[in-house]
Structure 1
Amino acid sequence: ALGSWQQLQKFDLTHHLFPLTAMWLNNDPDGIRAAYIVQALSNTDERVASDKPITPMFLFAVLLWGPISGRARQLMDEEQMSGVQALVAAGAELMAIQCQRIAVPKRFSLPMREVIQMQPRFENRKGKRAQSLLAHRRFRAAYDLYELRTLLGEVPQEALDWWTEAQANSAVQPAQEPARQPRKRRRKRRTKTKD
């Protein structure tokens, strides 16, 4: 993953394929944003080396988090939207722009937006809401993004430590994706014949 990203940058293709991310990275005087991307891609390479599953959904979430969260902050200021509403609107708006460059199937874009929209839920660490988040089927991907956000200075280390410990101590198992049932074949209509 990291090698591919470096090749995209070497041949100046990031602004063609990921224009929103490229603009976000251009406004990075101290290199924190670039370090965030590099760490996420290095983590992905480690997962591949360990034969752990990976999904493009998570990579899209990482690459688009910065632009989406920035647009969400604008919407919160301009439109007085709540944090979640702003993330929903920003995610839809910027994913439409991204899809003009790279076709992202809904099986990746919808879960990606879900992981991004889960980020504000990490702020509430009390009671049933925390347990509900721990039990969410996309918790692990959302947690990994939350962990990466510490590199951007968006998440206090103390909060990340709390979620890490809660995850380790939780008896709650994340919900599994429902098994897909094969579709039933539609019967062909018989055409009436005129006799």
Structure 2
Amino acid sequence: MSDDALESSVAAPESDKVVSTYSDHIPRDEHNISRSDISENALKVLYRLHKSGHKAFLVGGGVRDLLLGLKPKDFDIATDATPDEVKKLFRNSRLVGRRFRLAHILFGRDIIEVATFRGHHSDEAQGKNVSSQSQEGMLLRDNVYGSIEEDAERRDFTVNALYYDIADFSIRDFCGGLQDLEQRRIDLIGDPETRYREDPVRMLRAVRFAVKLQMRISERTSSPIKQLAPLLKDIPAARLFEESLKLLLSGQGEQTYQMLKEYNLLQQLYPILFDQAEDPKSQALIAAALRNTDERIADEKRVTPAFIYSALLWYNVEQKAQEVMAESGLPSNDAFLMAMNETLDFQIKSIAIPKRFTTTMRDIWMLQTRMSKRYGKHAYRILHHPKFRAAYDFLLLRGEIEGGDLIELGEWWTQFQDVDEDSKRSMVAKLNKPVGKRRRYYKKKPKASQ
């Protein structure tokens, strides 16, 4: 029996995945989390909340990663203090969010996020606070406050519903998150279909955590994803841009991409790729770009989402340019510009790529068409273009996939960057200049004498 089949056959009933009256309380001497591994700024916030009479817990990914022996990127805090009470305690704070009201405590560039315990929506009838849902079940506003037990039930995955109590340094586990950590399993709290309808981005988070933590998604959690994937179309494009960065710039972009495709999620984020899903050349370029980015992240080098997006959409731009030329008879340069505009206009309806990145994408794409024109001063202009390096790296990737003249062109630019000025002039001089139409000059006839 396969792992998934076995897991499905022994999956806990739904009631086992929600809050019960019993709480696993793990004392300090029975877990591996040390305060020395927690951000100093996060500890300051926890201590001040605690000394002011509030409950204060480190929660979510920070606790999960510390238990796994990883270094957390963020330290989030949950408390019974309301956002307004948090703001009164911390001058260096600001309240953010409409859908989820949060407090951000600012320590220079370091931001500690503080959230008030969430409660059940049924409390709305009692006038405790405000929550609203769309007809599809998506949460539009969620500022219902409650107890820590209710807060645990409201979280997405069991491994993210672990709380580190600053009062006695213990861990509180209300949903079996510790067991799922041990079994390397990503499991939703509550009914999966209901939770995905509340927030479809949870489907993306399931994939991201599975890849990042090298875990498997439980059968009950994964089974509704393909059917419910189209719900992502209802998510604001700006939010999906932020989520796409976490997915593809995580250091495991290539593996994440493949899992997104497996669960029918990729098509929702990049519908323009649907026609190219089986194109081996397109898929090879995307895989190479993601692999290159993963390696750069591992080496702690700078990366830009513009490079990934350029690879994702490149062959669509090329194909669209050919279609425009065939239909309109426009020159290749004009057709290429039109193809870029149409491709980007279509893509940003799904993922709102900011202009600072689409500008870089345009530069990378346009330089692909210009790098073969190296005669005269063209080579020097291209070399000194602000986005030359990104375009050059992109050219080398294309050469790996397509071979032929692109390999030779990439080698020429590799050499051109490294040689001295005299050698540069020599390299350019050896190129065959384009032969244009010769202009004829006619000798004027002498004027007849009067």
TM tier relative to shorter chain: 0.7 to 0.9
Distance 1:32 1:91 in 2: 19
Describe the superposition over 1:53-75 as per-residue Cα deviations: whole angstroms up to 9, x where unpaired: 11111111110101011101111
Q: Pairwise CA RMSD of aligned residues?
A: 1.7
Matched, 1:74 2:323: yes
Distance 1:169 1:90 in 2: 36
Distance 2:405 2:393 in 1: 12
Give, in angstroms, the shift of residue 153 of structure 1: 4.6
Distance 2:271 2:417 in 1: 35
More off after superposition, 79-88 vs 50-59: 79-88
Describe the superposition over 1:31-86 as per-residue Cα deviations: whole angstroms up to 9, x where unpaired: 23222211111000111111111111111111010101110111122222222222
Match of 2:287 in 1: 38
Match of 2:277 in 1: 25
Give, in angstroms, the shift of residue 154 of structure 1: 7.3
- CA 1:168 to 1:129, structure 2 compared with 1: closer, same or farther past 3 Å? same
Q: Which runs of 5+ in 2 are unaligned?
A: 1-252, 422-450
Matched, 1:113 2:362: yes
Matched, 1:127 2:379: no
Distance 1:109 1:144 in 2: 17
Give, in angstroms, the shift of residue 155 of structure 1: 4.5
Give, in angstroms, the shift of residue 93 of structure 1: 0.8
Q: Which runs of 4+ in 1 moved over 4 A?
A: none
Whichever of the two has the greater Rg, that structure is 2
More off after superposition, 88-97 vs 147-156: 147-156
Distance 2:394 2:331 in 1: 21
Match of 2:345 in 1: 96
- CA 1:25 to 1:112, structure 2 compared with 1: closer, same or farther past 3 Å? same
TM-score (norm 1): 0.80
Secondary structure, aligned partner of 1:123? coil
Aligned residues: 168
Alignment of 1:1-195 (within 5 A): 1-26=253-278, 28=279, 31-150=280-399, 151-153=401-403, 155-169=405-419
Q: Which runs of 5+ in 1 are unaligned?
A: 172-195
- CA 1:155 to 1:11, structure 2 compared with 1: closer, same or farther past 3 Å? farther
Look up the equivalent residue of 1:50 and give its one-letter code.
Answer: D
Secondary structure, aligned partner of 2:371? helix
TM-score (norm 2): 0.36
Contact 1:146 1:155 in 2 (8 A): no
Secondary structure, aligned partner of 1:96? helix
Match of 1:187 in 2: none
Structure number with greater CO (CA < 8 Å, separation at least 6) is 1
Describe the superposition over 1:101-152 as per-residue Cα deviations: whole angstroms up to 9, x where unpaired: 1111111112211211121111112231011101100001111221222213
Secondary structure, aligned partner of 1:118? helix
- CA 1:124 to 1:160, structure 2 compared with 1: closer, same or farther past 3 Å? same
Distance 1:56 1:34 in 2: 17
